[in-house]
Amino acid sequence: MEKRKLGKSGLEVSALGLGCMRMSFGDRPVGDKQEMISFLHAAVERGITFFDTAEVYGPFTNEELVGEALAPFRGQVVISTKFGHNIDTTRGPGFMAGLDSRPEHIKQVAEASLKRLKVDAIDLFSQHRVDPDVPIEDVAGAVKDLIQAGKVRHFGLSEAGAQTIRRAHAVQPVTAIQSEYSLWWRTPEDEVLPACEQLGIGFVPFSPLGRGFLTGKIDENTTFISSDLRSRSPRYTPEARKANRVVIDLLARIGEQKGATPAQIALAWLLAQKPWIVPIPGSRKLERLDENLGSLAVELTPDDLRAIESAISKITVQGDRYPRELQDQTGR
């Protein structure tokens, strides 16, 4: 497995990571626990060393799953988890009462995550969404305290804007920024990726396959259950999916030339952007995992990349990626 370093931090991980959210959160039915443990073991056997979770996934159950499954591989894998939500269990299982990145709360979350993950230190601890009520300097300072205490190794941010990244980095060096990035969501290229390059920060794209759309296996006739985020996202309405098939057509044409699937072309394109980019496609099936790993063998030449750029520049993707209330939490 090819390895990559997240910026200048020295944190080395597999070139492709694994997003673990959907193993126990995000839609129903969730994965069977024992099947998911076996799946995570298979991912390690295939060379994946970078696993992403968060306290809010479940909530809590995803961290517990990842912690139990990866316990035999301590020292061989890197686990990334996230803080920043107010999970009020007194108002129902998993009730979300907004954001909470107060320093005292961050430290409480760290202690709880350490127990669920069964580790002595959290490899990468990231703010899940920027909290407008807490200065980012206070957030960075709290994580800095945790690093100095040996409870956290690296600090990250998710869906933060460039100005916030710079302010946080001035207090505690940021190892990685996690944000959505793919051939059909390229907003990070405007300001966030240049900031990462300047500051020496790694970049971890989530939803690198457009929540499944870029695999080519979703069309306007696909239905989503109500608990699936895609059921209420403008980009996944039947009309938008029909209009956005032109992106899949492009990936399929290139894939035919390379002997690769649309998903493999989408991931290979991301990997070709910067050597410090590490996508974390989510999966629960071995065939999908193996397909994703096949992207590492796809070579896109400079001419290929220019052709893709020219073609994609003529396509206008339809629909926002999030419902308004979630979109407002990004890019702060």
204: β partners: 178
Provide the pLDDT for residue 324. Answer: 82
In the residue annotation, 322 being an active-site residue is answered as no
Pairing of strands 85-87, 122-127: unpaired
Confidence class for position 175, pLDDT limits 50, 70, 90: very high
Nearest to 186 by CA among 161, 213, 208: 208
What is the 3-class SS of the chain, one letter each residue?
CCEEECECCCCEEECCCEECHHHCCCCCCCCCHHHHHHHHHHHHHCCCCEEECCCCCCCCHHHHHHHHHHHHHCCCCEEEEEECEEECHHHCCCCEEEECCCHHHHHHHHHHHHHHHCCCCEEEEEECCCCCCCCHHHHHHHHHHHHHCCCEEEEEEECCCHHHHHHHHHHCCEEEEEEECECCECHHHCCHHHHHHHHCEEEEEECCCHHHHHHCCCCCCCCCCCCCHHHHCHHHCHHHHHHCHHHHHHHHHHHHHHCCCHHHHHHHHHHHHCCCECCCCECCCHHHHHHHHHHHHCCCCHHHHHHHHHHHCCCCCCCCCCCHHHHCCCCC
Backbone region of residue 212 per phi and psi (left: phi > 0; alpha: psi in -120 to 50; beta: other values) = left
Nearest to 287 by CA among 109, 39, 25, 94: 39
Please provide residue 196's backbone torsions phi and psi, each rounded to the nearest 5 degrees: -60, -45
Confidence class for position 109, pLDDT limits 50, 70, 90: very high
Over residues 209-232, mean pLDDT: 91
CATH number of the 3-327 domain: 3.20.20.100
Distance CA 313, CA 19 (A): 28
Give tens-digit pLDDT for 271-309.
999 999 999 999 999 999 999 999 999 999 999 999 999
Half-sphere exposure of 205 (CA within 13 A, CB side): 32
User: Which listed residue (57, 181, 236, 322) is catalytic?
Assistant: 57
Domain spans in the chain, listed from the N-terminal domain onward: 3-327
Provide the pLDDT for residue 72. Answer: 98
Provide the pLDDT for residue 225. Answer: 87
Structure tokens at 269: 């394109």
Q: At what angle do helices 262-273 and 245-258 cross, to 10 degrees?
A: 90
Whether the predicted pLDDT of 327 surpasses 90: no
Provide the pLDDT for residue 94. Answer: 56
CB 303 within 8 A of CB 162: no
